[in-house]
Chain A
Amino acid sequence: MASKSMSSPLHTEVTFIPFDIIEEILLRVEAYSLLRCKCVCKSWHSSIQDQAFVRRHLNRQQTSTLFLSDDVLSARCRLKIFNRNVASHNYHLPKEIIKDSLLVVEGYCWESDRLRFAAPKISLLRISE
C-alpha cells in the first residue's frame, strides 16, 4: 500500500498532549478515578473542578438514574436536588427519574450550589414524601 521514499526517525517518547484532548480523555474516566486525577497536576485539578466539565461529564452518562453520595446529603443539598424544576432545568436530570420520583446519584454531588465529583456511595431516595 505504501511506497516508501525515506524514513525519518520516529519520536520515541510520549510528549505533550494538548489540553483539549486531555479533557476528552478525562470525560471518559468515571467519577471515582477522577478524584484521584485531581492530584496529578494543577491543570488537571482545575479542569476537574470546572463546572462546565462536571456537567459535560454528567451529561455523558447514559444511565437512566443519577446518583447522589449520601455523605453530602445536607438539608441544603436535599432541597436543591428535590426541587424538581431547578434540578431538571439546571442539571438536565432525565425526565423519567423525576417522574418515578427516585433519585440515585453516584459520583456527583451538589455542594454550595456547585456540582462536584464525589464518593461513589449509593443512596436511594424517594422524592415524593
Chain B
Amino acid sequence: MSSSSTTTTTTRLLMLKASDGVTFEVEEAVATKLGAINNMVEEEGSEDLICLPNVNGKFLGMVLEWCKKHANNNTNSDKGNDEVNKWWDKEFVMDLDQNTLYHLLMAADYLSGTELVDLLTEKVASMIRGKKVEEIRETFKIKSDFLPGQEEEIRKKNSWAFE
C-alpha cells in the first residue's frame, strides 16, 4: 500500500492508530521523534498504518502534539530554538493533573520518546521535592510495606530530613 502523493514536497504521512481506534495522520518527521515509531518505519519500510495497542487516543494525541511542536521548532535553524522548546515544554507540563501525567509518561515510555520521558520524569520529580513521606505515598498510590518498627528505624537514621 504505497502512497500516491508525488508532489514536490516529500513529506510522507503515517497513520497511527491508538488502542481505542482513534487515528492520527502525522508527518513522518514528526512521528519518528518517537524511537518506537522510528524503528517500525525503518523495519517495515512502506507500512503506512501503525497500530499502537498500548496507547489511548487521548494520550497519543498529546504525545504527538509534543512531537509536532518540537519537530517544527527544530526546522527553524535559529539558535533561539532551545529557548522556545524549553518555554513550550514548561507550558506543556505546567497544568497536567496527576492522572494525565501518569498516562502520558507511560505512553511516552512505551513509544520511546526519550526527550519527552525526560521532561515528564523531571516534572514528577518536582512533585516529590519537599513533600512528606505520606504525601509521596499518596501521590504514587503506594502502601508502606515495612514491618512494624522498620520505618521508625529509617526515620531515626535520617532524622534531619524530617525536621
Contact = CB atoms under 8 A, between A and B. Distances in A.
B121 A3 contact: no
- Interface residue tally of chain B, by bracket? 35 or more
B79 interface: no
A99 interface: no
A56 interface: no
Contact of B103 (A2, A8, A11, A28): A11
Contacts of A119: 160-161
A10 interface: yes
A3 B144 contact: no
B48 interface: no
Interface of A: 1-8, 10-15, 17-18, 21-22, 24-30, 32-33, 35-42, 44-45, 119
A38 B128 contact: no
A28 B125 contact: yes
A45 B128 contact: no
With most chain B CB atoms within 10 A of its CB, the pick from A6, A24, A38, A40 is A40
Interface string B5-26: 0000000000000011111110
B29 interface: no
A25 B23 contact: no
Interface string B112-137: 00000100011011001111110011
Interface string B121-163: 1101100111111001101111111100001001100101110
Interface string B28-41: 00000000000000
A10 B22 contact: no
A107 B35 CA distance: 35
Contact of A33 (B24, B131, B137, B146): B131
20 contacts: A1-B24, A7-B57, A8-B20, A8-B56, A10-B103, A11-B103, A17-B105, A24-B121, A33-B161, A35-B161, A36-B136, A36-B161, A39-B133, A39-B146, A39-B155, A39-B158, A40-B133, A40-B137, A41-B143, A42-B145
